[in-house]
Structure 1
């Protein structure tokens, strides 16, 4: 079932709710620059096992409205809160990938984990503002990379997306899958894509991790070139009682590259 939820005047968020009213709810937050359809290989399996999968398109992405403003982590986390309250969700597993993981972290800190009983961080972009463990020159190169992505978004977004796709997966994916994946990014607003890249570059989650008090699973690909595995180790060290689940054969796209293990570990973690 797909429908829209109003999060502020003239801004509606698209929600896909599989098997509404039944099973433990898992609320998925997609990564940059994709949409909820990235979780297709979870949505077509987990409901069979009794889980209610809810995917949202963040503002500016997928089928959601495309306002000119509102792409800070605070605003995006507030959108999540409105979706949760509108659907009257309880005992949620909040699962965020990449930028979606960063938004999930901000949600937990800003809204005190409202209605969330477990948190799953999937290749989470937790340290893009302060990439720990890098030399000064590497940090400068990291910042240039984000600046180049933002500039390329406004000049030749399809080519920019091709470049993102080239580093997203560590394992072989077919050309057909690449085309499908590229199409998810194309569905987004170009301006929203750029503004969220600015947030990824500039937002700081340094004070947020210590405010997470629910059981947290950190799912991360060993070969991740977008959010290095070091991010996972740092999150594990800073989130009390968290569990680190490495994916030995995956890059940033572990939800697809090892989708059977991913689904199995997600079910185990939720319980």
Structure 2
């Protein structure tokens, strides 16, 4: 079943709510929606978990206002959903920019309602390079990505999709599957796509990660070209008591590149 939850005046988020039991909250990556986790929803709802998939504002079936795509507001949106559904002792799973939003949520709201955190190919602690941070995209590259989204969004999505998956010989990804990912990206609003990427470019979570108190597992693809393995090292050093799980055959889309192992590690994390 799905809920529409008003997180601020005239802004409603679509929230997928499948199964019963301990809640597992999923925060999707740019520029997809909670549907990216459909295989996990199928699996976990059979295993006695309640899957909560939040479509971020601007994406999937949620409202797409002109503004409100900074991490503070996106983290506040998550808090509004957790409060509305009265979720307690939940697992929070953030993929890519969803990982960045999860980090801001844990710091800004003191980990309210969350017992454990999983960061999957997280766009953190900073997605773009800074004076004292040489990892990730250069600002000019991020600007070029934004320009590409404004010029020809379908082509930008296709190009991004090629970077997204390792697509190794041991696990080739089918063309229909790539088309499906493209479709999820096309469902997003153009302005939500651009403005969330501006937040990816501009936001810095280095002071947030040291505030995380919950047990944290970091999932990282060794072949990730979008959120490189150096990000995971920074997170591991910054989050007290965190653990790292590396997927040697995975790019950014770990859950698609190594689906069996990903699901096994996810179930391990949820114990």
Q: How high is the TM-score relative to the length of structure 2?
A: 0.95
Deviation string 1:236-264 (CA, Å, 9 cap, x unpaired) is 11101101000111000001211221111
Structure 1: 5+ residue runs without aligned partners?
Answer: none
| Shift of residue 196, structure 1, vs aligned partner | 0.4
**Contact 1:225/1:251, CA 8 A, preserved across alignment:** yes
Moved more, 143-152 or 57-66: 143-152
CA distance in 2, matches of 1:260, 1:52: 20
- In the other structure, the counterpart of 2:206 is 206
Aligned residues of 2:2 and 2:15 also touching (Cα < 8 A): yes
One of 143, 149, 165 as aligned partner of 1:153: 149
Aligned match of 1:85: 83
Contact 1:219 1:247 in 2 (8 A): yes
Structure 2 contact 254–262 (Cα < 8 Å) conserved: yes
Which digits, 9 at most, give the CA deviation of each residue in 1:138-179, with x for residues without a partner?
Answer: 87x621211011111111000100110010000231111111
Tell me which residue corresponds to 2:195. Answer: 195
1:256 aligned onto 2:252: no
Length, aligned pairs only: 265
Corresponding position of 1:229: 229
Shift of 1:109: 0.3
| Partner residue in 1 for 2:4 | 4
- Separation in 2 of the partners of 1:60 and 1:251? 25
User: What's the secondary structure of 1:244's corresponding residue?
Assistant: strand
Give the Cα separation in 2 of the matches to 1:102 and 1:3: 24
Match of 2:74 in 1: 76
Q: Structure 2 regions of 5+ residues with no counterpart?
A: none
Q: 1:128 maps to what in 2?
A: 127
Deviation (angstroms), 1:46: 1.1
TM-score, structure 1 length as denominator?
A: 0.95
Match of 1:216 in 2: 216
Query: Corresponding residue for 1:35?
Result: 33
3-state DSSP class of the match of 2:138? helix
Aligned position for 1:57: 55
Aligned counterpart in structure 2 of residue 45 of structure 1, from 43, 48, 54: 43
| Contact map agreement 2:29 2:97 (CA 8 A) in 1 | yes
Segment of structure 1 superposing worse, 39-48 or 205-214: 39-48
Q: Distance in 2 between matches of 1:260 and 1:173?
A: 14
C-alpha separation in 1, matches of 2:27 and 2:36: 10
Cα displacement (A) at 1:133: 6.1
Equivalence for 1:170: 166
Partner Cα distance (1:247, 1:113) in 2: 27
Give the aligned CA root-mean-square deviation in angstroms: 1.3
SS of corresponding position for 1:183 = helix
